[in-house]
Structure 1
Amino acid sequence: MAVSGSAVLEAVLGRIWASPRIVEGFHALCDFGGRFAGTASEARAQAFLAERLSTIAPVRREPVPYRGWTRGPARVTLPDGQALAAHALVRSVATAAAGLTAPLVDLGRGTPVDIARAGKTVRGAIVLVRHEFMLGRDHVHRRRKYDAARAAGAAGFLIAAHLPGVGPVTGSSGDGGAGHIPCVGVGFEEAARLAALDGRPVTLHVDGVFADAEATNLLATIPGTGEALVVLSAHIDGHDLAESAIDNASGLACALAAAEALADVVPDLPRGIEIGLFTIEEWALAGSEAHLATMPEADRARRVLNVNLDSVAGDDTLTALTSGVPGMDAFLRTALAPAGLSVGLHPGFMGNSDHANYLRAGIPAFRLCAGFERPGSALSLLLTRADTRDKVHPHQLKTAASVTAAVLLAACSGAALPPRLDMATIARLTSG
């Protein structure tokens, strides 16, 4: 396609809105299940994504060795012998066959401040904390609570869903190494039962097996006329409680749609696009971390921007989490204006998606997400069995893909981008 200003933008966005492929791709990914890393569900999704990518550009499969883990059963047994359902957090260490019996300490929200305030009561206890809406300004991530609890001497860790009726919450915890403790998610209703037992002993049973494994990142490059590349990323893996529809079948479907719409435009533009579909993201961003850690510095220097799509549907509002990168807000406003599009802009650093690793590598990056600061939206259902496709509307997918395509088109066409980040700026931006 010849480059002719607004006509190109209209054609690119028209392809997204006229085609059923984005919705078909989204449903196909949900059909595979939750895509938990190392499972047949993830393998089926990988094969589908590789085939779709191959219609855009040659696919590179990047192996990522990692410490794999297979989840076993988990439960919490009350003093009367009744067992409550639980779900082991990713990479939880196992308890002994008899379980771990210790006093339960209810820490409420369970922030690091709450844990410090509880003092010596945490040591040797099984602590109970609450999950939070993940896309809010004041969100305290589960791993911060877990790390604070084990540093304070907790023997076990329970995190409860913050909404009723959705069952246990899941997510990652430690890495199973020395000093890590058994940890599970429980439901809202189970937490109410446990809270009534504050100070009394309960027994935690967790099973899981660690083994060396190898994951695979999928990469494809649409070259431009110059050496610079704009990275479009989304994560493949999810959780086995449901379909991981919002998080992150939505991001994958939008990334494919935007890349397909731009595939014959980018070769005539100054900058190319690298598509990075990363796995083991739900394991503390391990896939993108390994990708960047092994990349030669000269290749890092070619990557000038990362557009990361993670949970981009489930609500009609879109926000770019810009982490305060200098010049990013202005770039996004300018890039979206020709299409009459806009997104919310949040400058705070939220390090729970792959854009965080690009920032740490000095590459300007932002995460596009839906439902920021909207706890009443379907985004509140992430990491639960309610993260299913019925929460996502086609127009949300197409809007997110259109925003993505407009940003990529501007970036590849030679628009002024935020400058590369020096070490001092990286430290300042990622300290939150």
Structure 2
Amino acid sequence: MVQLPDDVIGDAQTSRFAWNRLEELVDVGNRMAGQTGEEAGAEIIREAFEDAGLSEVKIDEFEIPGWWRGSSSLTVESPSERVHDGSHQVIALPGTPAGEATGRVVDVGTGTYDEFEEKDDELEGAIAMASSDTPESADRWLHRMEKYVNAADHGAAAFVFRNHIEGALPPTGEVGYHNRPGPIPAVGVSKEVGARLARYAENGDAEATVTVDCRNETATSRNIEGVVGPSEPEDRNGGGETAEADAEEEVLVTAHVDGHDIADGANDNGAGSVLTAEVGRLLTNVADELDSRVRFVTFGSEEIGLRGAYYCAETTDLSQVKCVINLDGACSSRNLRVGTNEFEALEELFESVADEFDAPLSTGDTISPHGDQWAFVQEGVPATMTGTTSEQSGRGWGHTHADTLDKLDSRDLRDVATLVTEAVYRAAQDEFDVEHRSREETRDAIDEGYVQELKMGGRWPYDDLEE
């Protein structure tokens, strides 16, 4: 049966608290990690946490490798001269270095490892172009970073990432990850620009120049935190005996407030950020019924390598974290999707909530390094990636200029808030139990493809176990 009181569910279904904050957040515009817009977005969420009634609200700053966009262009030299320099045609990918490269365009299709090997003798000094698509034959999604690093490793002088969705503008996205800045200039182009280049490349006479102007400098990012429920155990901070009312563990509800500088970041991830505040607001009404404290954290710098999540995981006593429910891309519809990272109890939790509300739900149990929950999963902490699915969502307009408020619906936001609040409420009860894994168990359970991706991006966390 549904465990939240009727008045809390009614509040969730009629509230405009989250939607109003989302309007404020998208109106900031550029919320790129380490820049003034991310700071402004963090302040909006801090105020939302306070208005929601959360306690211990604070902003925690940390240092990151920042990246600032300049101008970019792709000039086709032959067979037909054309300059692409509008942001609707070409944009630099974060983590790229500044630079210019001229060479023959080599189309490596969807950028699988096999396709790069097939074109190996053509790629030295060339401009490698790969689609944002992943073929149906692949056993997992191929990340743009893998395609970028493969291009550099095969001797390419520059990388072009072409969208595979028509009319959806050029895609952006981090390519440097933990090896910032990357080794070669990289740009994203629209499907239409990419299709023209692919047609030229098929005839073997396409030559182009990629130019990227950008800055890679140290910057400051920030996480925002707030708490609902029992207070933190005193002895966790050396205070001796723990008071009887104190919680021995906590549930983390997380999201990321940063976005890409070309977009408003409405669904990715303004919606997730305001949902943390809304779930917190709703739980303040039942705070005395929680057996575990619930800590809400919106991270900075997710889009450039999960840096806010890593910082939080490194500065948190993970043995006290019961589980993490991470919200990302959670307002494209009311159809919930939960990635459970092979934590069966978390899958059962969300399935029971969906059953009680007769709500659509899809789940996946793959241990995935994509999303802020990974910083905790890699250490064996139970965590989900919780979002929504729809035919209109995904890379079609995610990570492009088109991730705007008009794509979203306030009714979907209210429905998701209701379901997530119920799930968090249940997770914070003593009756809910989910076991941590050891780091060794997690390492051994990761799919070989993701092992390859993590090592390629400098993100493999288990070298200490293999010495």
Same fold (TM over 0.5): yes
Q: How big is the shift at 1:378?
A: 6.3
**Distance (Å, rounded) in 1 between the aligned partners of 2:47 and 2:218:** 27
Pairing 1:38-57 to 2, within 5 Å after superposition: 38-55=34-51, 56-57=54-55
CA–CA distance in 2 between the matches of 1:376 and 1:49?
Answer: 27
Cα deviation, 1:371-401, whole Å, max 9, x if unaligned, reads 1xx5544663101111111111111111111
Among 302, 309, 312, the residue aligned to 1:291: 312
| Structure 2 residue matching 1:382: 3-state secondary structure | coil
The equivalent of 1:90 in structure 2 is 94
Does 1:109 pair with 2:110? Answer: yes
Cα distance, 1:74 vs. partner? 0.6
Q: Deviations over 1:223-269 (max 9, x none)?
A: 42412100000000111222111111111122211110002423442
- Write the distance in 1 (CA, Å) between the matches of 2:2 and 2:81: 68
- Paired residues, what number? 419
Comparing 338-347 with 14-23, greater Cα deviation is found at: 338-347
Secondary structure of residue in 1 paired with 2:67: strand
How far apart are the structure 2 equivalents of 1:15 and 1:31? 26
Shift of 1:66: 1.1
- For the structure 1 residues 270 and 114, does the alpha-carbon distance in structure 2 shift closer, same or farther, using more than 3 Å as the test? same
Question: Structure 2: how far apart are the matches of 1:248 and 1:133?
Answer: 23
RMSD of the alignment, in Å? 2.2
Match of 2:214?
208
After superposition, the C-alpha distances for 1:283-336 in whole angstroms (9 at most, x for unaligned) are 0111111221233xxx21111100000001112321101122233222322345
1:417–1:335 Cα change, 3 Å: farther
**Equivalent residue number for residue 330 of structure 2:** 312
Q: Secondary structure at the match of 2:332?
A: coil
Normalising by structure 2, we get a TM-score of: 0.84
Give the percent of matched residue pairs that are identical in Structure 1 and Structure 2: 25
User: What aligned pairs does 1:129-140 form with structure 2 within 5 A after superposition?
Assistant: 129-132=130-133, 138-140=140-142
Is the 2:339–2:364 contact (alpha carbons within 8 Å) kept by the matching residues of 1?
A: yes
Distance 1:416 1:237, change over 3 A: same
Deviations 1:327-348 (A, max 9, x none): 3222322345444445211112
What are the Cα deviations for residues 29-65 of structure 1, in whole angstroms up to 9, with x where unaligned? 1111141123332222111111111232222221211
Matched with 1:31 is: 27
Call closer, same or farther: CA 1:219–1:124 in 2, change over 3 Å. Answer: same
- Deviations along 1:183-209, whole A, 9 cap, x unmatched? 111111110221123143211100111
Question: 5 Å matches for 1:400-419?
Answer: 400-419=416-435
**In the alignment, what sits opposite 1:249?**
270
Residues 181-220 of structure 1 correspond to what in structure 2 (within 5 A)? 181-198=184-201, 199=204, 200-220=206-226
What is the one-letter code of the residue matched to 2:279?
A
> Which residue does the alignment assign to 2:287?
266
Using the alignment, how far apart are the partners of 1:58 and 1:415 within structure 2? 26
Q: Is the 8 A contact 1:315 1:378 kept in 2?
A: no
- Residue 94 of structure 2 aligns to a residue whose secondary structure is coil
Query: 2:349: which partner in 1?
Result: 331
When residues 125 and 209 of structure 1 are mapped into structure 2, their CA distance, relative to the original with a 3 A threshold, is same
Ranges in structure 2 where 5+ consecutive residues have no aligned partner: 231-245, 451-467
Q: Which amino acid aligns with 1:69?
A: W
Matches of 1:66 and 1:388, distance apart in 2: 27
What letter corresponds to residue 211 of structure 1 in structure 2?
E
Question: Matches of 2:442 and 2:115 in 1, distance apart?
Answer: 29
Which secondary structure state, in structure 2, belongs to the residue aligned with residue 13 of structure 1? helix
Aligned to 2:454: none
Residues 124 and 153 of structure 1 are in contact (CA less than 8 Å); yes or no, is this contact kept in structure 2? yes
1:358 aligned to 360, 363, 376, which one? 376
* Contact 1:12–1:405 (CA under 8 A) maintained in structure 2: no
User: How many angstroms apart in 2 are the aligned matches of 1:127 and 1:64?
Assistant: 35
Unaligned stretches of 5+ in structure 1? none
CA distance in 2, matches of 1:179, 1:57: 41
Displacement of 1:112: 2.1
Take 2:446 and 2:158, find their aligned partners in 1: how far apart are those partners?
A: 29
Hey, what's the Cα distance between the residues in 1 that align with 2:445 and 2:4? 35
TM value normalised by structure 1? 0.91
Asked whether 1:161 is paired with 2:151, we answer: no
- Inter-partner Cα distance in structure 2 for 1:170 and 1:370: 21
